Structure 1
Amino acid sequence: MATGTGKPIAYVPGQRAARTEYAKRDDVPSNNSVIRGMASSVHARVNRIGQAQDWLGRWQDRIQGRPARPIRALDEFTGETLAQWALTNVLYARKRPAPSFGFGLAPVLTHSVAARRQRRLRGTLLLATLVYLGGSHPSGMAAILAAVLLCQFFAGRVCRTILRWGSNGLVPALLLAAALFALWSFAKPHLPILREAVLEGLLVAPRLLIAVTALHLLDRWACHAYVQSLRPGRHHIARRPFLAPFAAKRIAAHEVTEQWQSIAYRKEGRVDRFVGAGLDSWPKGATRIQLTSARTSEDEEDDLPLATADMSDLDASQKFDADELLDKVRDELEELRGALVETHALPNCDVAEFLGIPEGRWKSLNQSSGGGGATSGWPEATEMCTEARGAPTGHFSRRYLAAQVVAWDGQIVVTVFAHAALEGNTLHFVTRPHVLAPLLPSANVTPARGWDLARRLAETPLHACGDTFALASRVYTTIGRGLGLLTAVTTAAAAVREKDDGRPVSLREHCGRETTEDMHQTEDVQRYVSIVQSRMFSTVSAFLADHGLATGEFTRQAIAITQNYITGDNNQVNTGNMGGGMQQGPLPGGPANRTEKAG
């Protein structure tokens, strides 16, 4: 049993000896499909060829009278938008990141920093190109700008308003003709200069287009290079950004804090859930029984609980505390890693203890323990160990035992949190299953291979031309609406950078689905919840029986709960009877329970 050293917990008179160890969670994965998909998605670019097809399709829809099809674009869960979200809400946020389940933050944050740097470099080079051409060909750039403004004037509402006013009567028509004649008289002496400016503008415009297209081409090739560095066959993934010491320091700190076992809870609608464990929070399974001595040694299915019994009726061998019960549940869950038959095991089952805290307290938590490095201790470890020494009433922060199964290469993470409370001669045992669903398609970019990669590289110049056209269109529209020459259209509200309210956020939940949609993945989720939850209840029942306590009422409540999570015969799992779970031998050479001293 691995242990760590830490600050001792002071003895409190009148209470039992302080518990100084806790079950430590496994290290987060360093390389799986979730990490590669999320890190690759920050380098995604718009499919300009697909956009052109959509615009042509809209023209056909208009002719045939069909509803206009949407124009494909990047959503908020991919590309530079996702990179900016990760940097703002995770890397540089003044709060601790939510615990990472089934993936690691370092590679995703590293590539987010790289994506931001690439965006800034692209913008700097574009600005430098404009400054260089403006300095070397000032009249040509001025002619291009004047042509843009004239096009916007003639196409805008101002020109239409003037023409409509000039056609309303004889006097307005004469005034309009006089204004045009005065304008021509003013420009006629400068025609040679204007002619030279136009010729220089015709010379500069192709150079500007070629330079901007070349920059977009290099930008897209750099994105391909980043994505290829995350291909499945590559075992080493960058975990620190190059030439970014401050960001590297922050990422190193997050690698430590994402392993800490404090987890915030919040209420969403009518469901309470732990932030980071998944958006799919299942209804809690709560059992509540009075502790009474068993009447006989026979099967207790027909026993009725003795409502009039109190703790004084129990002898010393029958009394226990929540720590003992949860330790027994933890030991039984650890045995799920082993198996009598290979396919009966849950090899990725991790059992650890977490401190559930309200989300309002999250911002006040320390972002570092002061030690620095990978040896930094978890600041709330002492609090979690001392929390169970007294009655749970009045405590916002409570200790949970969590059994977690990571499957589908990190795409699915099932976590069942369990809490035990002993108060008033009553045992309250509650389970809270959570499911992390697979990533959204837009946040799960897969590197191209073989001929598909060659085709994408060959299409890159076409996409770069589309980027140049999109940039020119955006600049044209921005200038026209800024000067009031073009009519402003109703658009979706721009994303506003929200002020950090200190609430915990999870990058994995931000990029994931709410629930599983695949049939087989859904069956696996139901099976994992059934296995873990049934093993928890059967262990508690066996623990009560070993202490000579009645288990009939607890068994009835547990069966009612577990049956609610089983939908169909194909999802039923044989986890043993409620009086004692199926025993499995430990996995040869497998990991043992790891505990760490609180401090």
Structure 2
Amino acid sequence: MAGFDDRSSGEVASDFRPGAQIPLSGSGGQTAATQALASAAYRDGPVTDLLKANDGASVKKPRISLFEPNLGEAFSRAVQVRMLGGARKALIQSFGIEPQSVVEHCLAANRVRKDRDSRLTVIMVFFGLVFLPGVLVWLLAFQLRRAIAGAQNKRMGALGMAAMVALGGLGVLFLLKLPISGFWGLYLRAMLVAPIVGWLWAKQVCEKYAKILRGQWEQLLGGGGVGAKIPEAVPQDPNDAGAERIRLGLAKLSAEQSSNLVYYAGPKGILGMGTRWGSWQLAEELTPKEADTDINPFRSWDVVRAIHDQLRLLERKPIHTGGFPTPSIRHWIVSPIGEGAKGVTRPEGQEVEGYRIKDFEIQRICNEQQFGSGNRHYLGVQFVLWDGQLVITLLTTVTVLHHTLRIEVTGHALGPVHPLFTTKPSPKKKEVSKSVRFWETKSVTLPLVEAGEVVRLTARAPFTWFPPVLDFLGGKLSLPEPFGLRHAWADKPWRHRFMADDALRAATPVLRVVHDAAIRVLEENNCDTARFGARSLTLSGMVQGATPGKADDYGV
């Protein structure tokens, strides 16, 4: 339809053609959720913590635990492959965050680790080639310790401790009384001592880059708004295929984020928008005002267009006080998928331009696809609050079956990101008793990188140049499908009192605006609105006492 644009003034629009990408309107500083998710790229700690945030994710067990990735390494690798991979599946939109920024931070974190691994590889090559037998002995010892104690520095127990002490005693005895003298005797002694020198050198490298990664982590959660540095995404010459591939992948990600097609997955709700917590329906018979007249013909789109225009005035209020921020008002096409679906499919054809359903197809679906199979049309008003931590979406659909006009408003809420992503790095310290005044304690700063972690990073370093090999040896993180950065790690908003209040309060004014606009269209087309008005007043009273529920679970 000429002149029709379903984008509101509060929505980010970008140019995805080759060249600079300049946002036309800001996102209102909605950065908290974005930076919380981006901070995961710089974190340390066990990768299994991610399973607590979403039980749909899974971690492939390592074949050799010494090559097991930590949380940041696994998250960065999984997100980069899933979001920018050449054979990646379709993505779910991430409302309330900027997914491109999260992916850029994953690339930046991988770049920092790549610089670190380059230095560790040099150390590993020098000591690994010249003193290979000794390095293998030390690696075997650390692998044995991880196998006994686990990857997370648990106690080894009496049996494990006895085994390690026995191995240490044999090593000392071997150094003191060698059966071989001369050059080979010196080499055998150096073989066991030189890896310790390499370990000390590697420890300094690991400490340096650990400070960099933790600094980025802390700044992101502290509101510093540090940008990701990814020079490898800027082509240096026309033949720089790698950088061009990253640039096109980021542009494709931004284009898919602006799609107006969403997916309804049964009790899981609309993916990316959250579960449906409330539903209010106004359904009455269409009758003319006077018995001898007929109603003027109109279509569902006429009612939807009137509601769309009226919703744009939600910011206005008669009293000079705080109120709604600028909402995003868009026409959505909702496609049904199975509750346990492992992926979604983006449609293709003349009705689709890029990742967006064209305007004429939106209007056709609104008027014609109201019963039976097929996609459905919804008019949505969306509020992104709490710096992106809360996404409130209220969807309106208009259907006409026989003589009955039905106007349904449903509420969806997507809560804050899981608390795992909002925890700041804590300094590694412990309380110990003073040597003289033993009844007093003091705080001792521990190294950022422990001995076992230095060995793990150094052992992994040469294999980071061959990611598939490292995935095979150390395992990898599999992200939940269908995947979207925001809804995959979202928590429930109802555990936060003010967030819950905001979601409930938004329903009442939106419902009234929808009903007023619809009744106005009916009056203009010679329809009797008495029943509609009475039903609207009843719903207006019901919505005032709205309580969240599971509207998609019908209890049958």
Q: Report how far residue 387 of structure 1 moved.
A: 1.7
Q: Assess, with a 3 A threshold, how the Cα gap between structure 1 residues 549 and 436 changes in structure 2: closer, same or farther.
A: same
Specify the code of the residue in structure 2 equivalent to 1:276.
Answer: G
Give the match's secondary structure for 2:448.
helix
2:4 to 21, 29, 32: 21
1:113 equivalent to 2:107? Answer yes
Q: Identify if the C-alpha distance between structure 1 residues 369 and 341 changes in structure 2 by more than 3 Å, giving closer, same or farther.
A: farther
**1:507-529 CA-partner distances (Å, limit 9, x unpaired):** 11112213332212211111112
| SS across alignment from 2:306 | helix
Match of 1:462 among 446, 458, 470: 446
Instruction: Give 1:558 shift.
Output: 4.4
Once residues 148 and 545 of structure 2 are traced to their aligned partners in structure 1, the CA distance between those partners, rounded to angstroms, is: 67
> 2: distance between equivalents of 1:332 and 1:425?
25
Among candidates 321, 334, 345, match of residue 312 of structure 2: 334
| Cα shift at 1:285 | 2.5
Aligned partners of 2:110 and 2:350: how far apart in 1? Answer: 29
Matched with 2:59 is none
Tell me if 1:94 matches 2:88. yes
Q: Deviations over 1:491-547 (max 9, x none)?
A: xx976647x9xx642211112213332212211111112322332234323443444
Residue 287 of structure 1: aligned partner: 282
| 2:493–2:499 Cα contact (<8 Å) kept | no
Contact kept in structure 2, 1:241 and 1:248, CA below 8 Å: no
How far 1:192 moved relative to its partner? 7.2
Task: Tell me which moved more, 90-99 or 407-416.
Answer: 90-99
User: Mapping of 1:438-449 within 5 angstroms?
Assistant: 438-444=416-422
What is the alpha-carbon distance in structure 1 between the residues aligned to residue 33 and residue 147 of structure 2? 50
Distance 1:239 1:352, change over 3 A: farther
Aligned residues: 450
TM-score after normalising by structure 2? 0.68
**2-structure distance, mates of 1:369, 1:446:** 48
1:181-580 correspondence to structure 2 within 5 Å: 189-190=179-180, 196=186, 199-227=189-217, 230=220, 237-238=227-228, 242-243=232-233, 244-268=243-267, 273-278=269-274, 280-294=275-289, 315-317=294-296, 319-343=297-321, 345-359=323-337, 363-365=344-346, 378-390=356-368, 392-444=370-422, 462-466=446-450, 468-470=451-453, 472=455, 497=478, 504-555=482-533, 557-558=535-536, 561=539, 563=541, 565-567=543-545
Following TM superposition, by how much is the alpha carbon of 1:215 offset from its aligned partner in structure 2, in angstroms? 2.8
- Greater CA drift, 249-258 or 390-399: 390-399
How much does 1:286 deviate? 2.8
1:153-193 deviation per Cα after TM superposition (whole angstroms, max 9, x unaligned): 999xxxx9xxxxxxxxxxxxxxxxxxxxxxx9xx9854778
What's the secondary structure of 2:309's corresponding residue?
helix
**Residues 81 and 325 (structure 1 numbering): CA distance in 2 closer, same or farther, change over 3 Å?**
same
CA 191–120 in structure 1, closer or farther in 2 if over 3 Å, else same = same
Q: Which has the larger radius of gyration?
A: 1
- Asked if the contact 1:220/1:460 (under 8 Å) is kept, the reply is no
The normalised TM-score by structure 1 is 0.63
Q: Does the 8 Å contact 2:111/2:230 carry over to 1?
A: no
In the TM superposition, what whole-angstrom CA distance separates every residue of 1:16-41 from its partner, at most 9, and x where no partner exists?
A: xx677341252175552222222223
Structure 1: segments with no counterpart, 5+ residues? 1-17, 47-70, 161-183, 296-308, 454-458, 477-492, 572-599
CA deviation profile, 1:48-81 (whole Å, cap 9, x unmatched): xxxxxxxxxxxxxxxxxxxxxxx99743556333
1:75–1:382 CA distance, 2 compared to 1 (3 A): same
Corresponding residue SS for 1:288: strand
Structure 1 residues 245 and 207: CA distance shift in structure 2, 3 A: farther
Indicate how the Cα distance of structure 1 residues 242 and 365 shifts in structure 2: closer, same or farther if over 3 A, else same. same
SS at match of 1:284: strand
**How far apart are the structure 2 equivalents of 1:232 and 1:200?**
47
SS in 1 for 2:269: strand
1:105: how far off? 1.4
Query: Alpha-carbon deviations, 1:403-440, whole Å to 9, x = none?
Result: 11121121111001111011211112222211111111
Deviation sequence 1:191-228 (CA, Å, 0-9, x none):
77886455314532431321332232132122145346
Residue 112 of structure 1: CA displacement? 1.4
Which of 115, 138, 141 is equivalent to 2:135? 141
**Cα distance in 2, alignment partners of residues 154 and 411 from structure 1:** 41
Q: Which runs of 5+ in 2 are unaligned?
A: 14-25, 54-70, 150-158, 160-173, 234-242, 429-442, 460-473, 549-556
Deviation at 1:97, TM superposition (A): 2.5
Using the TM superposition, name which of 253-262 and 201-210 deviates more.
201-210
The CA distance in 2 between the partners of 1:233 and 1:429, in whole Å, is: 42
Distance 1:152 1:432 in 2: 52
Offset, 1:127: 4.0
Q: Tell me the percent identity.
A: 18
